Amino acid sequence: MDASIEKAIERARSLFGHGNNCAEAVLTALLEAAKLNPEDYGAVATAFGGGPVGHSAGQFWLWG
């Protein structure tokens, strides 16, 4: 696996462990990996995280 992908995965895990929901953690990690500022995207991922439906919705939204 590409080192940058592994780094993004570890970052997402860390963010999730520090209180972000799953979608927020993944989106923030991906934006950082792409050298974009997560603050510019507000709370766009917040609605996709939490609960069984939210987990699936966030996953499908991020991976198209």
Residue 56 has pLDDT above 70, yes or no: no
**Alpha carbon distances (Å) from 39 to 6, 16, 36, 55:** 22, 17, 9, 22
The confidence score (pLDDT) of residue 44 equals 82
Q: Which one has a higher pLDDT value, 42 or 54?
A: 42
Query: Exposed (0-12), middle (13-18) or buried (19+): which is 64, by Cβ within 10 Å?
Result: exposed
Using a cut of 0.95, tell me whether the model's pTM lies above it.
no
Per-residue DSSP letter, 1: -
Q: Which one has a higher pLDDT value, 22 or 52?
A: 22
pLDDT digits (tens, 9 = 90+) for 8-41: 999 999 999 999 988 899 999 999 999 999 999 8
